[in-house]
Amino acid sequence: MAKTVLKQIVDEAGGVYRSIMNRRKPKMKLPVRALNNVRYTPKVGYFQLTGKQKERTLTVNTVKTFAQTLKMMSLSKDLIEQDDIASKREAYYISKNWGDAMFTEQPESDTVMDDVEAMFAVNREQLGFIPEEKGGEVAGRLVVVDRDEKGKPLRIDCTRFGSGAYSIPISVEHLKFESKARFILAIETAGMFQRLVKHNYWKLANCVLVSMGGVPTRACRRFVRRLADSLKIPVYAFVDGDPYGITNIYRTLKVGSGNAAHVNKFFCVPQAHFLGVTPQDVVDYKLPTHPLKDVDVKRARDALKNDPFIRHHKEWVAALKQMIEMGVRVEQQAFAMYGLNYVIEKYLPEKLRRPKRFLP
């Protein structure tokens, strides 16, 4: 794969060079990374690009961004050839040696890196760039087979971390898995994850627990995807009952995002289903709630109008409309009203008896 990516970089740079030598304005074509440039079909299971492209042409106004794009491609080429890596933060600081092409702030660097990734339709790790954040945490009935420094298999038992958990590494492609778990429970908040770990919920339910820590990182999503594919078991998402939890955290886990549609096939988990917390749970369990904020209502209405995944599933349309009508949002921790372990003793067992009722 490295040779293929390297050839793509060289070919693209060569095209720019030839245009300049022939006194033509050089251009680079990139896919439009936005929700209005994706489609969703259940058979595929994730957001796909529809084909809209934008051109980056060398002009007086675009010379800096054009140069930064080429320099980022050059940095990637060096990393691949040297079998090395650079974090997103390191890439930003490397640009300080690029003279007038250097980045002022890291968001500029991240955007150009994403553009290069989209241009070649690969993930940034294949370009030699790695994220700063860790991938999430795992506990339960799972053995992860990693490699030691000599390349020998290293078996990591996720039931033997005591009150802690196994940390998902940045790169998960080489990992193998051994497990007889029934399902994977992906959890939004670290607090709820820790409660389930503390009381060995994974033993009671025979499952694998994964802490997403908010919007799951790429490494976390890729880990869950590979784990689910390998074990051929379902993935259930347990997040807050609010528009952000539904349209940002869960939707990103299941079908990806418009901004990263060019790599969604690697990082989404189409087999995921939404366990809760649902608007109907608020009614059924008489949960304490918080009023929806203006930003919550806007996010929900935007999803109903523009999100291909939400619009496709009438169950999600109904759920978001119910949430807007109720005017409330609910947190995972709301079940503590009935006791700290109510979620373990009552809520999860009741929901898991009826997985066919889970939202898509």
For the question of residue 93 being annotated catalytic, the response is: yes
For residue 26, which amino acid is it? P
Strand intervals (E) in the chain? 27-31, 38-39, 48-49, 53-57, 86-87, 129-130, 137-140, 143-147, 153-157, 166-167, 176-178, 183-187, 207-211, 235-238, 272-276, 290-291, 328-329
Contact 160, 138 (CB under 8 A): no
- Per the listing, tokens 């369990």 go with 285
Q: Which of 17, 40, 92, 93 is catalytic?
A: 93
Strands 183-187 and 207-211: parallel
Contact 168, 134 (CB under 8 A): yes
CA–CA separation, 345 vs 130, rounded Å?
40
CA–CA separation, 272 vs 298, rounded Å?
25
Contact 34, 26 (CB under 8 A): no
User: Helical H runs in 82-217?
Assistant: 88-94, 106-120, 190-198, 201-205
Beta pairing partners, 57? 27
Q: Is the peptide bond before 277 cis (omega within 30 degrees of 0)?
A: yes
Find all residues with CB under 8 Å of 56, minimum gap 6, and list them: 27, 28, 29, 30, 62, 65, 66, 69, 115
Catalytic residues: 93
